[in-house]
Amino acid sequence: MRDNPLEDWQRLTELYREMGEVELYELQDGIDDLTEVAQQVLRDEMRARGLTARPAEPTIPKPDWNEEANKPDEADRDPLHEFTWKVLLTECADSQQAWQIREALRQAGIESWIEGHGFRVAIDESNPRIQVAADQIEEARLILSQPIPQTIVDQSKQPVEEFEAPRCPHCGAEDPVLEGVDPTNSWLCEGCGAEWSDPVLDEKP
């Protein structure tokens, strides 16, 4: 800083006049680090511009959040979004035993799966493994510990009729495409483009 206070005053006055308001506020924040002449020139310049204190930063009001009050009620939770793990229940000797156990579980309201086969029963696979939902494992084990009802055993031994797809009534082509089942089977022939449906059987009381 120069030794001539008047020259310092004039120089600082010109300097501060060229500054913007933000720069002046920044100088004001560190005013204790300035000389007495610089402090007085800064006060005069801010007074001349009508600047007093730095404007406060706008505050964003916090939401009135009550964690307990805003928790979803247990009754409002969608049961479809409740997920669970599948766990191994048992390994079966053959597909017939697997069908019997799955049917017994189904009648008890317990859903089950053949491991690695989704909802399908592994007809040709040996030692199929049955899985159930983890939250139903105890109920499933209870069903498994009981003898399979004789009605289920008898039903599993009944021969399954093989389904034969119809021939196209127009061109006689085999293996038409099944397009629907409601109210009866609807077919499409890929050979000639013919469409037809199976007749509706009247149910007698």
Is residue 97 one of the residues assigned to a domain? yes
The shares of helix, strand and coil residues in the chain, as percent rounded to the nearest 5, are: 40, 10, 50
User: Which of 47, 49, 38, 34 lies closest to 15 in space, CA to CA?
Assistant: 38
pLDDT band for position 114 (cuts 50, 70, 90): confident
Is residue 31 one of the residues assigned to a domain? yes
3-state SS class at 68 = coil
Is residue 98 one of the residues assigned to a domain? yes
Number of structural domains (the chain) is: 3
Tokens for 40?
């007085």
Is residue 177 one of the residues assigned to a domain? yes
Over residues 171-199, the pLDDT tens digits come to 988 888 877 767 788 889 988 999 988 88
Q: Is the pTM of this model over 0.85?
A: no
Over residues 150-173, the pLDDT tens digits come to 999 888 887 766 667 788 998 988
Q: Which domain holds residue 173?
A: 167-198
* Residue 9, pLDDT above cutoff 60: yes
| φ/ψ (deg, to 5) at 87 | -125, 155
Kindly give the pairing relationship between strand 177-180 and strand 186-188. Answer: antiparallel
Helix (H) or strand (E) holding 190: none
Residues 138 and 88 in one domain: yes
Indicate the average pLDDT of the chain.
Answer: 76
